[in-house]
Structure 1
Amino acid sequence: MDLRNYMDSTYLKTAVQAGLSEGENTAVVIQVIQEAIEESFKLVMLRPQYVALARTEIDQAASKVLVGTVIDFPEGKATLEAKIQEATTAIADGADELDFVVNYRLFQQGGVAQVRDQIWKCTQLTLSAGKTVKWIIEVAALTDLEIVQLTTLVKKVALSKFEERQYERIYVKSSTGFYPVEAGKSNGATPASIVLMMENANPLPVKAAGGIRSRSEAEQMIALGVKRLGTSSAKSIVDHADSTSDY
């Protein structure tokens, strides 16, 4: 099994979060892009402002690495219009895959109809552009029941609004990797949360993200059935090395 085929190699820190200048952070982004090209990872996942840069670097290298970005990241609380605007720009800049953060707080507050509408319309925009969409449900913010309910909601929208041939391009994704939690608790994918997602997402694919830093963790997630892994430790994982990533 070549883990590279599952890897969404990820760098989503802002310059402030990384303790770097904007120029230094851009240099890190370029390093991550070049690493993805050299390692032939499935995709490189970056913030929207770096999509055009990644598209240029990858095209110049004649690489098959896909360009991914996050939309309404990391809280997911923007309006539908704001989500659409950000996604439209990312597509124009050359993104192949868009990972939207679901408005999970609105869902928890009972705004199911509004969340359903956002999932439908943002998915429609993305698929109509020939791209892949992933919906981040943020498992660390949810109860087990809410994980089941929100995963099921994404699935129901897909099955009711789109054709079967499109299902493979509509993912349910576990986490942003940036949700604040108490020390010792996971803010990303766990085996328990992924099992719940797998049981309720089918026939949609699942992406595990957040806190995956070792080869054994990656292999465990794949064994559970996920189709993609979002990790800032992609090279360490494929090299069987220790990861120094903190998200």
Structure 2
Amino acid sequence: MNIRQYLDSTYLKTPSQAGITESESIQVAKEYIQEAISEHFKLIMIRPDRVALAKEIIDEAHSNVQIGTVIGFPEGTASIEEKLKEANQAIQDGADDLDFVCNYEAFKNDDLALVKNEILAGTALGLKNNKVVKWIIEVAAFNETQIIQLSALIKNIVISNFEEEDYASVFVKSSTGFYKTENNLPNGATIPTITLMLENASPLPVKAAGGVRTYEEAVEMIRLGVKRIGTSGAKAIANGENTQIEY
């Protein structure tokens, strides 16, 4: 199976997180963007301040690789206004996909009005601009019941407020890849969590992000029904090699 069109090749570390300088970080980002082009991946997922760079490189290469970025990343606690401002800038800079981090702490605290409002506003902004929107629910922060509830909430908001032809453009996504778990428990996509998401987000598509490290794991996710896989080891996975990269 050629899985390249399922892969969102991902580089989201800040220079300080990677332990490198700003100029070195820009160079790494360029390498990821160029690799996505040469490997014919679906998309390059990059930080908001690198979207314009990705757009320039991809346009120069006359490539069809799409550009995704993260909004409210990684904590998800930014206000709705801050998230919309960041998303608008990303749209202006050339992003195709907007991966919003849902305010999962607000959800855990039963502030459902806030969560509903940001899902509605962020989705509306993306769809109005013909963008793909993904809602990151951070499965490692939740128990099974909460995963079910938030996946269903996103689905119900989309079904109630948007047209059926929009559903394929609004994803529920598992993880940022940056959530810190206790005792080295998985912080991203696992078969049980992805299964819960698929069962409760349908007809919305699901993106598995964080923790997919082998070609076999990627194929298993695709066979379960996911439409996208986010990984910073995309080339290795696509070529049947294992990757130890965390996200």
Look up the equivalent residue of 2:37 and give its one-letter code: I
State the match for 2:186 in structure 1: 186
C-alpha distance after superposition, 1:162-212 (max 9, x if no partner): 000000000000000000012331000010000000000111000000011
Look up the equivalent residue of 2:44 and give its one-letter code: V
Name the % identity.
54
State the Cα distance separating 1:243 from its structure 2 match. Answer: 1.3
State the match for 1:78 in structure 2: 78
**How far apart, in 2, do the equivalents of 1:74 and 1:190 lie?**
19
**How far apart, in 1, do the equivalents of 2:227 and 2:130 lie?**
19
State the match for 1:101 in structure 2: 101
State the Cα distance separating 1:51 from its structure 2 match. Answer: 0.1
State the Cα distance separating 1:136 from its structure 2 match. Answer: 0.1
State the Cα distance separating 1:70 from its structure 2 match. Answer: 0.2
**How far apart, in 1, do the equivalents of 2:242 and 2:229 lie?**
17
Q: What is the 5 A alignment of 1:99-178?
A: 99-178=99-178
**How far apart, in 1, do the equivalents of 2:244 and 2:202 lie?**
34
Look up the equivalent residue of 1:143 and give its one-letter code: N
Secondary structure of 1:110's match? coil
**How far apart, in 2, do the equivalents of 1:170 and 1:77 lie?**
20
**How far apart, in 2, do the equivalents of 1:137 and 1:105 lie?**
10
State the Cα distance separating 1:220 from its structure 2 match. Answer: 1.1
State the Cα distance separating 1:114 from its structure 2 match. Answer: 1.2
**How far apart, in 2, do the equivalents of 1:246 and 1:137 lie?**
18
**How far apart, in 2, do the equivalents of 1:244 and 1:26 lie?**
22
C-alpha distance after superposition, 1:64-113 (max 9, x if no partner): 00000000000100111000000000000000000000000001101111
State the Cα distance separating 1:246 from its structure 2 match. Answer: 2.8
State the match for 2:64 in structure 1: 64
Structure 1 residue runs of 5 or longer lacking an equivalent are none
Structure 2 residue runs of 5 or longer lacking an equivalent are none
Runs (4 or more) in structure 1 with deviation over 3 Å come to: none
Pair 1:87-2:110 in alignment? no
**How far apart, in 2, do the equivalents of 1:47 and 1:237 lie?**
22
Secondary structure of 1:68's match? strand
Secondary structure of 1:226's match? coil
Secondary structure of 1:20's match? coil
**How far apart, in 2, do the equivalents of 1:165 and 1:116 lie?**
21
Instruction: Report if the CA contact (8 A) 2:9-2:230 is conserved.
Output: yes
Instruction: Report if the CA contact (8 A) 2:210-2:246 is conserved.
Output: no
**May I ask how many residue pairs the two structures share in their alignment?**
247
TM-score normalized with structure 2 length = 0.99
Pair 1:207-2:207 in alignment? yes
C-alpha distance after superposition, 1:103-147 (max 9, x if no partner): 000011011111001000110001000100000000000010000
TM-score normalized with structure 1 length = 0.99
State the match for 1:9 in structure 2: 9
State the Cα distance separating 1:2 from its structure 2 match. Answer: 1.4
Look up the equivalent residue of 1:42 and give its one-letter code: K
Secondary structure of 1:242's match? coil
